[in-house]
Each structure stands twice: as structure tokens, then as C-alpha cells.
């Protein structure tokens, strides 16, 4: 199976499976799981935060961060395309009674600080209290620059806001910028890192922040049913993902470039190469191409695609150049027959 739908489809490596099988475990709700404790201590130190918490998913990590930063009736600023606004079930509003205030993302994924400033509510009982800015790196495969991160930090300090980073693919951002991850971490009050996307763990995310924030988030984790027991079994794989797999992300980025250039050689398909910054390729097909039918055809060939035009294709640990060549050959034939 060749799966271009997302980097969430990566499967755990043999070393991860061995570590999971042999992990020392305890009850994490009691704080007794040594493998979870080791992961959290290591992650906090590695990324320059006081504390860390292992969560079951990126959605959960983001929700807990929002609930720890904000009180009921507060508001957070974010992008219209922000995952924790658009794709996480409205959890902040539904479960946290926190009002999202989305701002249109610019073409490069950033948020305009003038627009953000205009959206901050006055200190008045008629309005929700604006307390947090949440940004995302990467967003739709685009990388926020260190300069932008520094400006976001300055903006939040000037406006008495906290700054949360949805870092679902933040290691992809660091790899693309050719910097150490801490150069990004230094600008934010809290950050989530998804371990089950490009980093290849089977499950889990890390939430990083101050001791007070993580203490509050841990309480909310229990409230929403996220307390896990012998979680060391999955934390063992998560530790390998964080220690070993960031170095492999550049290969995914190189493969995305390879895929994008190959797609551009085909009739009826185009890719803006300037937009391929990490492991995501957005391919635009001619209007006469039936995308839904194409997805069905390729599923029968054991190649999984996401329907849409442009179509998002994501490279990851389980896709190599041979897989890409196979896909391009099959796609070329399908497009020729479809003429």
C-alpha cells in the first residue's frame, strides 16, 4: 500500500515495537509510570520548557493548552485555517467555554498583526476577554519564519496575551529552516508536538509549558477522560520518535520536491514548486479530470489519495522514491486514458 493521504498513516518501526513490548510501566494517573515520566522529563529539557505532559493526541494536547491558558468566557485568537479552530470539533468552545476569534490566514500561513490587534476586545463586560494567541507551525506545509515567531512573541507581550504554538509538524519547520527546535520553542509559552505524524510514533503528542500550566492541563486531561494507565507502552515508542526521527524529516521534504517536479511533467497536472516547503504537495488537476473517480481507481491499485482539487499529497517515512515513481507511472497512464 502506498498512502499519500497524510503522514498520520506511518507505522511504528521494529525498534519501536521492541521498545513497546519491553517498556517498564506503571499507573500514569498516579504518576507511577517510569517510561512516561522519563519521556516527559526528557521532552521538557530538550525543548527548553519547565514541564511536559504526554497526551493521547494533538487534538487533546491543543484543547488542554487552551483550557489551561483560558478561563470560561475568555477568547483566543487564531487563524481561519487553524487546526484547533477548524478541524478539532470545536472543542475549545464545546468543552472549555472558550470563544475562538479566527482571523484570515495570509497566503504564507501567517496572521496579520494589525488584524489581530483590531480583534482584541476591550476590557468591558460586554465582551469575551482576549487572553491568548494560538498559531500553527507548519500550516498547510508552510513554515513560519523565525522572524515571524519573534514578532508574534513581541505582539503578545505588548498586548498581555499568552502565546500557544500548535506544533503538529513543528519538527518539519525546524528541519526546513535548518535550525535546532529550541530556536522556535523560545518564543512561545506553550507548545504541542504531534509524535504520530512525520515522527512516526503510533500514538501520542506532547504538551510543553510552565509547571503551573502543565499542572492545570493535567487536571483538565483527567476531566476530559484523557488519563491513561500503563501508558509507558506507547511512551516508549514516542521517545524513539523524538530522539531518532527528526533527522529523517529532510528525506520526506526531498521526496516531496521529487514528487512535485514529477507531477509537473504530466499533462493536466500542475504544482507550484515555490509552495512546497516541507512534506506536502498540492496538485491542481485540469477541470476535465474526475478526481473522485481517480481516487477510486487508485485505491484499487493500492495507492491511497485524498479527494480534492487541489489534491494534497503527503510524503512520510513509509514512502520512498520508488513508491513515487510507481505512482507517477500509474497516474500518467490514468490521465492518458482519461483524455
For residues 224-234, average pLDDT: 95
* Predicted local confidence at residue 338, as pLDDT: 57
Q: From edge to edge, which strands make up the β-sheet containing 190-194? A: 51-55, 205-209, 190-194, 162-167, 129-136, 74-79, 99-103
Identify the domain boundary among 209, 225, 244.
Answer: 244
2 within domain boundaries: no
Answer whether residue 104 is part of any domain. yes
Dihedral over Cα of 303, 304, 307, 310: its sign: negative
CA distances from 251 to 33, 254, 319 (A): 34, 5, 10
Domain that holds residue 116: 7-244
Within this chain, do residues 233 and 139 fall inside the same structural domain, yes or no? yes
- Tell me which of 200, 223, 244 is where a domain ends: 244
Same domain? 69 vs 174? yes
285 and 147 in one domain? Answer: no
Question: Residue 139 — φ and ψ, nearest 5°?
Answer: -130, 120
Among candidate residues 199, 227, 244, the one where a domain is terminated = 244
241, 200 contact by CB (below 8 A): yes
Condensed to tens digits (0 to 9), the pLDDT of residues 129-145 reads: 999 999 999 999 999 99
Q: What is the tens place of the pLDDT at every residue in 259-287?
A: 999 999 999 999 999 999 999 999 999 99
Would you place residue 53 in the very low, low, confident or very high pLDDT band (cuts 50, 70, 90)? very high
228 & 252 share domain: no
Residue 29 in domain: yes
Is there a single domain that holds both residue 263 and residue 209? no
* 53 and 149, same domain (yes or no): yes
CA distance 329 to 339: 16
Does residue 21 sit in the same domain as residue 35?
yes
Question: In the prediction, which pLDDT does 240 show?
Answer: 97
Amino acid at each position: 500500500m502506498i498512502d499519500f493521504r497524510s503522514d498520520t498513516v506511518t507505522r511504528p518501526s521494529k525498534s519501536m515495537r521492541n521498545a513497546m513490548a519491553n517498556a517498564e510501566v506503571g499507573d500514569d494517573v498516579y504518576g507511577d509510570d517510569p517510561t512516561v515520566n522519563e519521556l516527559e522529563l526528557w521532552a521538557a529539557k530538550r525543548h527548553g520548557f519547565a514541564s511536559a505532559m504526554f497526551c493521547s493526541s494533538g487534538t487533546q494536547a491543543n484543547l488542554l493548552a487552551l483550557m489551561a491558558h483560558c478561563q470560561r468566557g475568555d477568547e483566543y485568537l487564531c487563524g481561519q485555517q487553524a487546526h484547533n479552530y477548524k478541524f478539532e470539533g470545536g472543542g475549545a468552545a464545546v468543552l472549555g467555554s472558550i470563544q475562538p476569534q479566527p482571523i484570515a490566514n495570509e497566503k504564507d500561513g501567517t496572521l496579520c498583526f494589525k488584524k489581530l490587534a483590531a480583534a482584541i476586545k476591550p476590557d468591558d463586560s460586554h465582551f469575551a476577554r482576549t487572553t491568548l494567541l494560538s498559531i500553527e507551525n507548519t500550516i498547510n506545509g508552510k513554515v513560519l519564519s523565525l522572524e515571524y515567531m519573534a514578532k508574534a512573541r513581541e505582539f503578545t507581550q505588548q498586548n498581555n496575551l499568552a502565546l500557544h504554538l500548535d506544533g503538529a509538524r513543528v519538527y518539519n519547520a525546524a528541519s526546513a529552516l535548518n535550525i535546532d527546535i529550541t530556536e522556535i520553542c523560545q518564543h512561545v509559552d506553550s507548545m504541542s508536538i504531534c509524535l504520530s505524524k512525520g515522527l512516526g510514533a503510533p500514538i501520542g503528542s506532547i504538551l510543553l509549558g510552565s509547571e503551573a500550566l502543565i499542572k492545570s492541563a493535567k487536571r483538565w486531561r483527567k476531566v476530559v477522560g484523557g488519563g491513561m494507565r500503563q501508558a509507558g507502552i506507547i511512551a516508549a515508542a514516542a521517545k524513539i520518535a523524538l530522539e531518532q526521527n527528526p533527522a529523517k524529516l529532510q528525506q520526506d521534504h526531498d521526496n516531496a520536491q521529487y514528487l512535485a517536479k514529477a507531477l509537473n511533467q504530466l499533462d493536466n497536472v500542475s504544482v507550484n514548486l515555490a509552495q512546497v516547503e516541507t512534506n506536502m504537495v498540492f496538485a491542481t488537476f485540469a477541470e476535465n479530470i474526475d478526481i473522485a473517480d481517480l481516487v477510486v481507481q487508485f485505491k484499487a491499485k493500492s495507492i491511497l489519495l485524498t479527494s480534492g482539487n487541489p489534491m494534497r499529497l503527503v510524503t512520510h517515512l513509509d514512502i520512498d522514491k520508488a513508491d513515487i515513481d510507481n505512482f507517477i507511472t500509474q497516474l500518467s497512464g490514468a490521465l492518458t486514458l482519461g483524455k
